[in-house]
Chains A and B, each alone.
Chain A
């Protein structure tokens, strides 16, 4: 396909010519692909999504008419409407020409349907970007071709990666303003691929784009960029994969206990991993009691199985004490349970994250008190983790979590539901951080006993073995390893004993 006349010709006063309407029956055999746009201020995120909606015919005539009306007087040199106005729906956004909060929009092609979150580029509104990123399958990262990668680009790429996004599209935007400079495009793509690689992301597609003119968005930009032979943005989106349902063991965070009458007692919640069927043995955490599943009840029928994502009511074969916040799990592969965990988080509010403060932590349906001890903060420029005692707004940090009561988690790596949490400030009730569990900590050496150290002297082979474990890998920065000779060890032990 080539760009329709609209893309290049200036529009006349009368109306915005909408692309011809075609009937599109969307294939509904998968759930929609969820994507975000991210990147620095004014890189053209909203314009790109606006263009995507426009060219996929998701904009109706009355909406096009308001767009035309609203763009009046603010039109750019090309005479095209301000597509960002399709997204920037708040008055403050329209006045300032920036995005403040995430907009969710829905569109489809004849191949699949999409939910897109257009996030703000402003550093001040990073929390809103994180909101959009937490549920996304894919991130479209925009860069202004004239400017290149900025700190904010790195921040967004990092947050997206932390939140588990593994598919990136790099849209090198405003390429029209560089005279379609191929060398510039290649240089930026190269820089970004290095950044992505350092974040552990291998799946990056770089596309030179003019969001405003609609080149390489839905229609190809061959006329202006004959040197680019790769896919358009929409082609990449149509082929992207959705986050797969987790394969680890069965998890049901209990939201409610349903007791409509004497004869019925069911546990309601959304399956957060694995699957379940009648007859399965399950464990209730944190109590550790065991029971068997007798029925999976839904409104339509008594089902013979339920899988991740299903909202169900579970009936067990015996009277056990189960309440909201408990987790019903498979016996063979249980989640971690303990009082101390390691996590990474993004600080979302001006107060940052303060050491020793007691926050509320919510994960699944469980809410409990937690003390948060920052350990280190990511330096965006270098990718290094520097020691930190507190985390300012927008910081990405590693923390230790200490609970009063048993907490139940998987690692985020293993389960994006049971490994994710938010922190709530009890003074303001606001959500102040989004976090991801990385590991469980042994109670000993936890935050309560930060000063205490245990010195182990081990035979060399056992020490090597221990250091090769995943647990050790996750805690490497907490550990001081000294390889000493037997004679030296005796000296050390002697000084300790004194």
Chain B
């Protein structure tokens, strides 16, 4: 449905921000270019929206890329049913506020076979509730391009991925035969059933993301900021203990700690960090002295060697 934007709206009322520094401006320009290129070349693009900080930046850039028009594709959230409660609330708020189209998909096998991170282990659980669910949702929507917020600095196999990452009809990535990608000329030619994953944030680092969130005043889930929260310690991770489905094992006890999250995913698989960072400034200075990478808190990346590449080959983002 076309939306009308009267001319008067062209002056964005909230534009009192100072201009971006050249480093962030270059990253922003590149991302907007990619958004526009994909939107123009593909018939049915979709944007993967995981509600985390990278997704928040991605959404902000999409709104910028198509302004004064509306974001011309839907957002897709693959909901495992085990996300942090605050994430879901935040998602619905964004959709409302920015007039977005949202598609939510949960793998029906989750409920039917009672698949949980506790009963099936992180590897199998992720495989079914994330990878398989994503494939189902992409097939159902017949999407030929899907934007993702992955960054090359996150992980060694991501560092190898193209900005337009070609996928076979069964969503496989073949890291040994990627299309050459020269300059900023992207090859979007595919056959029916094939698709492309497009990564506008490829060249951003974690610090860039935070500095951009700060500069652009982008809303993010409050879990990123430190606060006293109930946690339980399990497998060397601090897990948020607010969901009644989290059963305490023998020897475990709930306690309160001032914590925050560096990445957000499924709460039973995402470890918190001890931190007193309550502002964006705090987070950025914490990052600049951090001695571990952001992936550290994620069980899914550690469960086997080369696990991210394997998941990606099978269609994971």
Q: Which residues of A are at the interface with B, using a C-beta cutoff of 8 A?
A: 18, 21, 23-25, 28-32, 60-63, 70, 86-92, 94, 100-106, 113, 115, 127-128, 130-131, 134-135, 255-256, 258-264, 266, 268-270, 295, 297-302, 309-311, 313, 324, 348, 360, 362-365, 416-417, 420-422, 424, 429-431, 434
Contact = CB atoms under 8 A, between A and B. Distances in A.
A360 B37 CA distance: 17
Interface in B208-223: none
Contacts of A434: 180, 182-183
Contacts of B205: 106
Contact of B293 (A62, A256, A264): A62
21 contacts: A18-B291, A23-B285, A31-B23, A89-B156, A89-B160, A90-B156, A91-B306, A94-B306, A101-B175, A103-B160, A127-B180, A128-B180, A131-B181, A135-B182, A256-B36, A264-B7, A299-B64, A300-B15, A311-B32, A420-B183, A422-B180
A18 B183 CA distance: 35
Interface stretch (B102-110, B113-121, B124-132, B184-192): B184-192
B2 A260 contact: yes
A343 to B, nearest CB: 13
B289 A21 contact: yes
Contact of A86 (B66, B156, B203): B156
Contacts of A259: 69
B3 A261 contact: yes
B112 interface: no
B36 A429 contact: no
B204 to A, nearest CB: 9
A371 to B, nearest CB: 18
Contacts of B182: 130-131, 134-135, 420, 422, 431, 434
B295 A90 contact: no
B21 A28 contact: yes
Given A28-B24, A31-B23, A89-B160, A422 B32 contact: no
B12 interface: yes
Nearest to A263: B7
Pairs A-B, 10 closest by C-beta atoms: A89-B156, A261-B4, A260-B69, A311-B32, A134-B182, A299-B64, A434-B182, A429-B189, A60-B293, A299-B67
A32 B183 CA distance: 16
B44 interface: no
B290 A60 contact: yes
A259 B3 CA distance: 10
A309 B189 CA distance: 25
Contacts of B179: 430-431
A256 B23 CA distance: 25
Contacts of B21: 28-29
Given A92-B176, A263-B7, A311 B68 contact: no
A102 B181 CA distance: 10
B66 A104 contact: no
B187 A348 contact: no
A24 B159 contact: no
Nearest to B306: A91
Nearest to B39: A256
Contacts of A324: 40
A290 to B, nearest CB: 24
B142 interface: no
Given A29-B21, A295-B10, A298-B64, A431 B33 contact: no
B10 A360 contact: no
B129 to A, nearest CB: 24
B185 A89 contact: no
Nearest to B158: A89
Contact of A260 (B4, B26, B158): B4
A177 to B, nearest CB: 27
A25 B289 CA distance: 10
Given A89-B155, A268-B65, 19 more contacts: A21-B291, A23-B288, A25-B288, A31-B22, A60-B291, A88-B156, A89-B159, A89-B160, A90-B175, A104-B203, A106-B152, A113-B23, A131-B180, A131-B181, A264-B7, A298-B67, A300-B17, A431-B181, A434-B183
A255 B33 contact: yes
A167 to B, nearest CB: 18
Nearest to A115: B203
A270 B33 contact: yes
Contacts of A416: 183
Contacts of A348: 180
B173 to A, nearest CB: 11
B66 A258 contact: yes
A91 B26 CA distance: 32
Contacts of A30: 22-23
Contact of B37 (A94, A103, A105, A255): A255
B176 A101 contact: yes
A88 B29 CA distance: 29
Contacts of A134: 182-183
Contact of A309 (B26, B180, B306): B26
A24 B288 contact: yes
B40 A255 contact: yes
Interface in B46-70: 63-70
Nearest to B153: A106
B183 A365 contact: no
Contact of B309 (A91, A258, A298, A363): A91
B69 A258 contact: yes
Contacts of A131: 180-182
Contact of B185 (A92, A263, A266, A421): A421
Given A104-B202, A258-B69, A299-B64, A62 B292 contact: yes
A266 B36 CA distance: 13
Contacts of A424: 187, 189
B68 A260 contact: yes
Contact of A429 (B5, B187, B202, B309): B187
Interface in B288-302: 288-293, 295-296
B159 A417 contact: no
Contact of B67 (A18, A269, A297, A422): A297
Contacts of B26: 31-32, 309
Contacts of B17: 300
B305 to A, nearest CB: 8
Contact of B180 (A103, A262, A365, A431): A431
Interface in B261-317: 285, 288-293, 295-296, 305-306, 309-310
A100 B176 CA distance: 7
B12 A300 contact: yes
Contacts of A92: 175-176
B22 A29 contact: yes
A194 B88 CA distance: 63
A291 B295 CA distance: 52
A368 to B, nearest CB: 13
Contacts of B160: 89-90, 101-103
B79 interface: no
A192 B131 CA distance: 49
A41 to B, nearest CB: 16
A270 B35 CA distance: 11
